[in-house]
Amino acid sequence: MPYTMTMANPVDIGYRNDSPIQGHSFHSHPFYEIYYFQEGECTYLIGDKLMALQPGDLILMHGMTLHCSNPSPHRPYVRSIVHFDPAYVHRLLQAEPAGALLRPFEELRNIRVPLREEDQAEMERLLAGLAACFRERKEKSGPAAPIDRFDVLFLELLQRIGNWCAEPIRDLEHRSQHEKHVQDVVSYLEERYRDNVTLDEIAGALHLTKPYLANLFKRVTGTTIIKYLYNRRVNQAKILFRFDPHRSVSSVCREVGFAHLAHFSRLFKAAVGCSPEAFRRQMAEGTGTEGNG
């Protein structure tokens, strides 16, 4: 049964997960994410950034950012992921130290940090310890302590991440011309996803043929340009509903670039699992519970 984050359980951790990805699903969630890539080959699309990952790459993810991984099916895909509610950190610490620990997520937003070999060993130690404490916490019965070993390790992890982010971070260039072309598509769509964008228009703007661009995007990201465009619009709709749940569905539909309400509703339900109206109502009532994706 999948773990669900709640006020009582504000953290979820998956340590050295090597299960294959079923499909290539873009998703977003309101909590923060620590993603650590440990083994394999993987292209990661997050927000408007395309990243060709290498083992030892750490990604810090701000909430509600659209993202999707595309690992090579020919190699093991090993990663560790920690989801957490930032309110959890504020419950453990006073406002100033809590804000300092969360600053890399809130100010750097979706940054990749390539860890050095010695830092990779430190990351592995912290994640293994967190995973062990997490299992113990879930199996433990009775009232929880005000602060336990898991809380201490988690704060230590955030503190180490803050130290790594305080150091100069190498600007990793795209590792191939193919990846640069795909990044150009993503950047183009980020500026124009609300418009009536066509493949012909994108290919013309980037001076590439439409078949070449369509095939390249699918190979690098695992999805099509049009599916990515629709997912970007749906994700923006989720953000608008979350911050202004009293807006009408038709208003949000138009703002994010859909011409027809029925088309918007169908794609929204397929991506989110409920209709736009139901999602809007959940946000207004404060009962929204999005999965870990």
Topology adopted by domain 11-166: Jelly Rolls (2.60.120)
Write the CA distances from 207 to 55, 200, 201, 217, 264, integer angstroms: 33, 10, 10, 15, 30
**What pLDDT, in 10s, does the model give residues 80-111?**
999 999 999 999 999 999 999 999 999 988 89
Position 2 pLDDT exceeds 60? no
Residues 166, 183 contacting (CB under 8 angstroms):
no
Class of the domain covering 177-285: mainly alpha
Write the CA distances from 210 to 174, 192, 200, integer angstroms: 22, 18, 6
In the chain, domain spans: 11-166, 177-285
Position 55 pLDDT exceeds 70? yes
Opening angle at CA 76, ends 108 and 52, nearest 5: 35
Position 210 pLDDT exceeds 70? yes
**What pLDDT, in 10s, does the model give residues 131-166?**
999 999 888 876 767 789 999 999 999 999 999 998
Residues 67, 45 contacting (CB under 8 angstroms):
yes
pLDDT, residue 183, reads 93
Rounded CA separation 250/259 (Å): 10
pLDDT, residue 8, reads 59
Position 4 pLDDT exceeds 70? no
Position 243 pLDDT exceeds 80? yes
Average pLDDT value for the chain: 90
Q: What is the pTM of this model?
A: 0.86
Q: SS3 string of the chain?
A: CCCCCCCCCCEEEEEEECCCCCCCCCECCCCEEEEEEEECCEEEEECCEEEEECCCEEEEECCCCCEEEEECCCCCCEEEEEEECHHHHHHHCCHHHHHHHHHHHHHHCCEEEECCHHHHHHHHHHHHHHHHHHHHHHHCCCCCCCCCHHHHHHHHHHHHHHHHHHCCCCCCCCCCHHHHHHHHHHHHHHHHCCCCCCHHHHHHHHCCCHHHHHHHHHHHHCCCHHHHHHHHHHHHHHHHHHHCCCCCHHHHHHHCCCCCHHHHHHHHHHHHCCCHHHHHHHHHHCCCCCCCC
pLDDT, residue 265, reads 98
Model confidence at 188, in pLDDT bands (50, 70, 90)?
very high
